[in-house]
Structure 1
Amino acid sequence: MEPTSDTAMAHSWASPSFRPERIEKLISDVDRYNSQNRSVLLEYLDEQLKNGTYDALANFAILKLFQLNPTEFGYDAMVNILIKTLTAAPFPDFSLCISLLGEAPIAKTSQSNAGSIDSATGIISEPIVVRLAKLSTALSETRFREFWALYKLPEYEDIRKYTANIAGFEAALRQVVLNSVKGTFRTISETRLSGYLDLQDASFAEYISKQPGWMLSNGLVTVPLNIDNEVKPTVVREEITQENLSKLLAQA
């Protein structure tokens, strides 16, 4: 059976080709929950932020360590991990992270940029986490124009300060948009797609020209043919035995 794009994406999500062997061995073993490995995983997270990669399972392991060792909770690491999950849409990575954070027995913290976290409500009630949740929902529901509008609001400035230090963040988000459009459209208007990508005029035209197989002409964008948007006729073959045919005729 020919693999679908979703299958390929799932494989890349679980086993990214860029994952170092040392990390592969670590997260494939129960030792990934050893607090002594916290620094190794955090260093790997920094690598992801610098080179624009994203390794979900390694980042989940970090949040699990925070859950098991609340005194070693890292606020900035948590925010960066949640932001990186946005680039994984439509996979439910953000929700999975929230589940881990929601179970973490985190008492009040005193990080200079975190504010006070009430142990009764936990980290998931932090304003920045709530705002990230709204961004995640907009992406997962393919409300791309709403996503960019929210992202640009003054109250989201704290998030933009983080994303400014994450290589390729906006490029990865636009790839999320393209992946969604590829699975739905054969053609789409320039106005609509430019709104989805938050790119206008020359910037939009240049961006589309760099996408293999995508073409912009007379205000219309042609999407490359792929296994998700290609319409194929389906032939249904039914076999009826002589015995069943006799019963059918007898009932007529």
Structure 2
Amino acid sequence: MAETMKQTVATILKSIERYNPANLQTLERYVEMQSRENTYDLEANLAVLKLYQFNPEKFNADITCQILLKALTNFPHTDFTLCKCLLLESVVENETISQIKYLADILEQCDFAQFWNRVHQMPELCNRISGFHDSIRKFVCHVVDVTLKHWVKKYGWRDDGNLIFIANQDENIKTKNITEKIEFDHLAPLMALL
């Protein structure tokens, strides 16, 4: 059934039928299937939001929330921003959608502790998206990986597979040979004093 649905949606999206409001129910069922089966189709989700834009009376807040949460699972890509730009102003004022936008903001700012606190306050919303938590963890790992690589390079540390060798200051000390040219005639008066 999932493959049939996927093929049906692909056919809709390749034609002018993507703008036909009669196809909205099929596309909405496809969004729900993505949420259940941990799949993701940005193009189909954008088509749903575009249909809501053209037909505001058919707007479904629940489907929109699922689309936004699925877009969050694809961070660091800009899918969430694309989806957000297709929302009508009246839709953005919806409390649940505002909460999801806030989640995206704090996730983008890498405030991971605050993000997880907020997610735990809205389990009924996030738990509906299969693989949501793991996808976000994958993004967090990506950020940490990129950050650590930056620091390793910046400070000249050495990455040896599973270990990072931090440069020791003693290794950076350079010895200098100092040569002084003092003639014996200049030292004679000092020697006489001793």
The answer on 1:46 being equivalent to 2:32 is yes
Alignment partner for residue 162 of structure 1, among 125, 129, 134?
125
In structure 2, the partner of 1:99 is: 85
Preserved CA contact (<8 Å) 2:119 2:126: no
Partner amino acid, structure 2, of 1:176: F
In structure 1, the partner of 2:73 is: 87
Number of residue equivalences: 151
| CA apart distance, 1:80 | 1.0
Identity in percent? 30
Q: TM-score, normalised by structure 1?
A: 0.54
In structure 1, the partner of 2:97 is: 129
In structure 2, the partner of 1:144 is: 112
| CA apart distance, 1:179 | 2.2
Question: Which sections of structure 1, spanning at least 5 residues, go unmatched?
Answer: 1-18, 103-120, 189-213, 216-221, 224-252
C-alpha distance 122-187 of structure 1, shift in aligned 2 (>3 A): closer
Question: Which sections of structure 2, spanning at least 5 residues, go unmatched?
Answer: 152-160, 165-194
C-alpha distance 25-180 of structure 1, shift in aligned 2 (>3 A): farther
Task: Give 1 or 2: higher helix fraction.
Answer: 2
Alignment partner for residue 31 of structure 1, among 17, 25, 28?
17
Preserved CA contact (<8 Å) 1:90 1:139: no
Alignment partner for residue 176 of structure 1, among 125, 135, 139?
139
Partner amino acid, structure 1, of 2:133: E
Residues 174-220 of structure 1: CA distance to partner in whole angstroms, max 9, x if unpaired? 111122233332499xxxxxxxxxxxxxxxxxxxxxxxxx96xxxxx
In structure 2, the partner of 1:227 is: none
With 64-73 and 141-150 compared, the bigger mean Cα shift is at 141-150
Alignment of 1:1-252 (within 5 A): 20-102=6-88, 122-153=90-121, 157=122, 160-186=123-149
Preserved CA contact (<8 Å) 1:63 1:100: yes
C-alpha distance 163-31 of structure 1, shift in aligned 2 (>3 A): same
| CA apart distance, 1:92 | 2.3
Bigger Rg over Cα: 2
Preserved CA contact (<8 Å) 1:54 1:84: yes
Partner amino acid, structure 1, of 2:96: I
User: How well do the aligned residues superpose, as a CA RMSD in angstroms?
Assistant: 2.5
Partner amino acid, structure 1, of 2:145: K
| CA apart distance, 1:95 | 2.3
In structure 2, the partner of 1:7 is: none
